[in-house]
Amino acid sequence: MTVFDILGPVMVGPSSSHTAGAVRIGLVCRKLLGDEPETAEILLHGSFAQTGRGHGTDRAIVAGLLGLEPDDLSIPKSFELAEQRGMSFKIGTVELEDAHPNTVLLNLKARGGRSLKIQASSTGGGRICINKIDGIEANFTGDYPTLIVHNLDQPGHVAEVTSMLAHKSVNIATMNLYRNKRGGYAVMVIETDQHVPDDAIAWLHRVEGVIKVTYLDAGI
């Protein structure tokens, strides 16, 4: 148990789950997108949908998408800040199967054209879990540098990625593999102990059979 577990996060309230966790979701999703969103559709599920407005969940998610941290005093003004910075957003509700009560589905598009669909949950105490990216299971916390590789389900891709990380002296902390069917669409979710260098990310984009690469350069 850490001091964080006992005291909770440093944050703007009122709720670590509905406010601080929601800010972190927005912030991590912004990092995954690689840019500030130009447009954002924010769909709240469960408790987020029922009590989110009273707890400021909607404003907290927008604040995170703008790059604000959970302790930023500007969080309550995030709607106004988004308008000033040209980020348009829509907030609604959604019913998701087998989802945590504090879950949001985000459809994001950056000015450069990159888009992501992310399902994420606030699990308590300011902690979060990224459940899905573009409809594919992911299940990582955002606490570590995280590499997400979307690829065709063909022999050799896992070996290529892990060998590249070893060559760059990047140690794998956790690794999860998902696929929709044999020989179909597959995803590697790799949390690492070190940052993954930019040239390694660029190399992955050129590997035959790799469809998309997303990297979260979280603090260590």
Q: Which 8-state DSSP code applies to residue 1?
A: -
Q: What is the mean pLDDT of residues 39-44?
A: 97
Q: Supply the pLDDT for residue 52.
A: 73
**Encoded tokens for 178:** 């998902």
Give the whole-angstrom CA distance, residue 21 versus residue 40.
18
pLDDT digits (tens, 9 = 90+) for 87-125: 999 999 999 999 999 999 999 999 888 899 999 999 988
Q: Does 47 have pLDDT greater than 70?
A: yes
Query: Highest mean pLDDT range out of 136-145, 148-157, 162-171?
Result: 162-171
pLDDT digits (tens, 9 = 90+) for 117-132: 999 999 988 899 999 9
Compare 169 and 179 and report the one with higher pLDDT: 169
3-133 belongs to which homologous superfamily? D-3-phosphoglycerate dehydrogenase; domain 3 (3.30.1330.90)
Q: What is the mean pLDDT of residues 120-145?
A: 91
Q: Does 8 have pLDDT greater than 90?
A: no
Q: Where exactly are the structural domains of the chain?
A: 3-133, 146-216
Q: Supply the pLDDT for residue 17.
A: 57
Yes or no: is domain 146-216 CATH 3.30.70.1280?
A: no
Average pLDDT, the chain: 89
Q: Does 85 have pLDDT greater than 90?
A: yes
Burial of 83 (0-12, 13-18, 19+ CB in 10 A): exposed
**Encoded tokens for 189:** 């979710």
Which residue in the block uniquely carries the two structure tokens 């594919």?
136
**71 contacts 10 by C-beta, under 8 angstroms:** yes
Strands 115-124 and 127-133: antiparallel
SS3 36: coil
Give the whole-angstrom CA distance, residue 37 versus residue 108.
6
**81 contacts 74 by C-beta, under 8 angstroms:** yes
- Quote the pTM value: 0.82
Q: Does 152 have pLDDT greater than 90?
A: yes
Write down the H helix ranges in 125-173: 157-167
Q: Residues of the chain with pLDDT > 70: what percent?
A: 91
